[in-house]
Amino acid sequence: MQHSEIPPRYKIGDLVKGYYDIVEYYYWHDDPDDYFVTSHTGVVVEIDYEIEYFQDYVYTILCLDGVKRFFIESELIKL
C-alpha cells in the first residue's frame, strides 16, 4: 500500500453518509421519476489508499443496515 502525501479527510470511527456518484454513468433512466439516489449512513472502519484505479482513499463503511460498503473520499460527507 502506497500512501498519499495528503492525509485522509475522514478517520476510523467517523460517522459518514455515502452516495455512489457512478450511478448516473452506469445506469440509464428514461424517465427522471425513475431515477433514484440512495445514500448509506455508517461508520468508517477501514481506510486504504488505492493508487492503481482511483488514486484516492477508499473507505470501508459499516452501514447501519449491517452491510460493509466501499466509497472513495469524494462520495462521503461527515455527519
Give 48-69 pLDDT, tens digit per residue: 998 888 789 999 999 999 999 9
Instruction: Indicate whether 61 belongs to any domain.
Output: yes
Give the total number of structural domains in the chain.
Answer: 1
Give residue 55's pLDDT.
85
Q: What is the mean pLDDT of the chain?
A: 83
Instruction: Indicate whether 8 belongs to any domain.
Output: no
Integer Cα distance of 77 and 61 in angstroms: 12
Instruction: Write down the pTM of the prediction.
Output: 0.78
Q: Could you tell me the end-to-end alpha-carbon distance of the chain, in angstroms, rounded to an integer?
A: 28
What is the Cβ-side half-sphere exposure of residue 34, based on CA atoms within 13 angstroms? Answer: 6
- What is the separation of C-alpha 63 from the centre of its chain, rounded to a whole number of angstroms? 11
Range of the domain at 51: 15-78
Instruction: Indicate whether 27 belongs to any domain.
Output: yes
